[in-house]
Structure 1
């Protein structure tokens, strides 16, 4: 095996452009999410209204995911990325206008609320294309032999942008108000569009097919991607573990309530709470770039997700701001390990011609866990109370880990050393 180079992917200029685009998009999307959550809770003071934000986004995201993957696999990736960013810019501009006092000063609060929900719903359609497009494009920018390193840096940039976007959302609300904060979001989307123009167009990956296969219907193409994931026990196990852990253990949607009513730290504290998980995940991913998680990967994954559940329980029972920040930091550390492992497996074990569809199935799991997790959090908080809902979610995460470890032995025994060695040897 070649000597490990922690900066291998960063030696490719276009990969650095790609990371800049990723940063700008995720920073803007995260910042917008934080602002929306704060504004919705400010308008309603109802935890269930926060859950609805996740619900209205996940419906179009999941329904369109497989079709989006088919389009990504069938079309040039850079052009699709430009269209996706253009769609995001329209939505961010609409959010900006909705919160402009010069426009909404005489509107009932319900009009603003429903307008926000409508933009979030349209954003779900755009989001269904983001994951498959970015995943497929990454596979074309760097050689196969450095996919693990590229996946680590890609995930690290994701965490940097989540960290900065979450913190910026809280602090800019305090400094500029909702309207001013959303203006920054729109600007960041425009920056991403300009950098996307610097990515070169690439021919579609070639797949050896017969004339009959080339004429197969769109539905056959969608089923092929779904079948690939469902018949691969390792990929399916990793995605399912992540989905259920975040579905039950995600407490992010309830952070406005903790900041306002439980910890009483206001918008500044809200920004810190939002940023804490990303700080933990970022530190973990930087370490992973130098100390890869190739050995005993499955056991490390299960331990990490179990630790995630413990940290969520700790956050739920805490009434001290600093302890709460620490608990969220730990949740980011453990989630960072899970994310690196998941992305590495997908990059290593997915054929080039199926990247869009496999990424779409992945996005279904991700959307189901994140957005449906937001709805689950809001619903259980309304039903049980905010604190009990978070503790319940953490306990369910622990049970999920135990169940997955027993049900899927290949996941428990997963080791990526052989996969990495083979790809380093064959190159690309």
Structure 2
């Protein structure tokens, strides 16, 4: 057994509670996402509406960005996360009632997307900042990979299951999601309280903007976060999967579920590998290479007319994205002091939300203008261009050897001089 595995076992109970809570919330969200995507495309047949769902999910990240991080740093993170999951469960319950009464409309789906986005805007920085409180620093890279595997494990089964259940009626998707959110809330409240005292800082504009100032002062952190924003913003194609499933690859809701699951298969396998063999050297080069591979896989998917080849390249896309996510998330969290993690994670969450939900809107808009296939291919090319530009703009990040570079004092204690 590896050293990382032995250390993880010592903190097994709280980590498993955290891990399963992530599995349940991710499963519920993925099932609802598949159902909503097919539902609205079935209602309107408009690719732009698929993009608008992503836009409504993204809007709360902008509206509440300054407050989400402050809440995560000021209040009990377990309770904040549980409250966010409760709100998502209630929103899923509204979809159950709407489906039972056949009253789900285009406008209702947009409102639901906004409420989900609000809950997730507060949940993301809170859960990101919560993990370092239950896992010691030595385990953090492995824990990030294992935590990422929770989301990927959920994303493998739940979209396919959601697509299959949707064939029996949307209520069969939304109903189980309510139960999953309830289980997640129960697990989250079982986590131990943070040992360090909460910093009861007043919510001033100065304190709310602290996360932005911190990121601006750390050029490599800014480069890592912004790389995800622009690369995935352009390369994201998930919003258009209902179009590919129905009109290009000629499958039904079950095919859409499999397409949404495919990136998670690659990501889950890669997360298992990274949990066992964390990236310890040449992290900058590995991260940029993985983002470039993400762009290539996006282009291949856009050009594919084979369902099985599409599944394969989506799996490669997911594996490449997982490498980038683990390196970037670990690096940002290790570079951030605990009292700042919530606010920095909120800014990071805005960037991630922009790359995902706003990327869905960008995909829907470009598909509306140029066509579905052209939009995906152009997005993949854009990802490659961004990767090359960021290597030039952030050379120290591209050439970074380790997640945390040894300090001069550590070299002297080890008996070797620091690198110039």
TM-score, scaled relative to structure 1: 0.91
Q: Does 1:334 align with 2:320?
A: yes
Cα deviation code 1:74-132 (max 9, x no counterpart):
111122122112111111111211222xx12xx5xxx6111111111111111111111
Indicate the residue corresponding to 1:243 in structure 2.
Answer: 229
Q: How far is the alpha carbon of 1:205 from its aligned partner? A: 4.1
C-alpha distance in 2 between matches for 1:244 and 1:393: 10
Contact 1:62–1:367 (Cα < 8 Å) also in 2: no
Distance 1:112 1:147, change over 3 A: same
C-alpha distance in 2 between matches for 1:262 and 1:7: 48
Indicate the residue corresponding to 1:355 in structure 2.
Answer: 341
Secondary structure of the equivalent of 1:99?
helix
Q: How far is the alpha carbon of 1:60 from its aligned partner? A: 1.2
Secondary structure of the equivalent of 1:363?
helix
Indicate the residue corresponding to 1:121 in structure 2.
Answer: 114
Q: Does 1:140 align with 2:126?
A: no
C-alpha distance in 1 between matches for 2:287 and 2:85: 33
C-alpha distance in 1 between matches for 2:214 and 2:98: 42
Q: Does 1:162 align with 2:155?
A: yes
Q: How far is the alpha carbon of 1:71 from its aligned partner? A: 1.2
Q: How far is the alpha carbon of 1:169 from its aligned partner? A: 1.7
C-alpha distance in 2 between matches for 1:420 and 1:24: 38
Cα deviation code 1:269-319 (max 9, x no counterpart):
111111000000111111111221120000011110000000000000111
C-alpha distance in 2 between matches for 1:420 and 1:37: 47
Q: CA RMSD in A?
A: 1.8
Contact 1:247–1:373 (Cα < 8 Å) also in 2: yes
Question: Within 5 A, what are the aligned runs for 1:2-401?
Answer: 4-6=3-5, 8-12=7-11, 13-100=13-100, 103-104=101-102, 107=103, 112-174=105-167, 176-205=168-197, 217-401=203-387
Structure 1 stretches lacking a partner, 5+ long: 208-213
Q: How far is the alpha carbon of 1:375 from its aligned partner? A: 0.3
Between Structure 1 and Structure 2, how many residues are aligned? 407
Q: How far is the alpha carbon of 1:9 from its aligned partner? A: 2.6
Distance 1:314 1:242, change over 3 A: same
TM-score, scaled relative to structure 2: 0.93
Secondary structure of the equivalent of 2:170?
helix
C-alpha distance in 2 between matches for 1:126 and 1:276: 26
Secondary structure of the equivalent of 1:293?
coil
Q: How far is the alpha carbon of 1:46 from its aligned partner? A: 0.7
Contact 2:163–2:257 (Cα < 8 Å) also in 1: yes
C-alpha distance in 2 between matches for 1:154 and 1:328: 21
Q: How far is the alpha carbon of 1:336 from its aligned partner? A: 0.9
Contact 1:250–1:377 (Cα < 8 Å) also in 2: yes
C-alpha distance in 2 between matches for 1:62 and 1:204: 30
Q: How far is the alpha carbon of 1:72 from its aligned partner? A: 1.2
Secondary structure of the equivalent of 2:4?
coil
Contact 2:134–2:192 (Cα < 8 Å) also in 1: no
Contact 2:70–2:203 (Cα < 8 Å) also in 1: no
Distance 1:79 1:259, change over 3 A: same
Report which stretch shifted further, 61-70 or 379-388.
61-70
Secondary structure of the equivalent of 1:355?
helix
Contact 1:70–1:357 (Cα < 8 Å) also in 2: yes
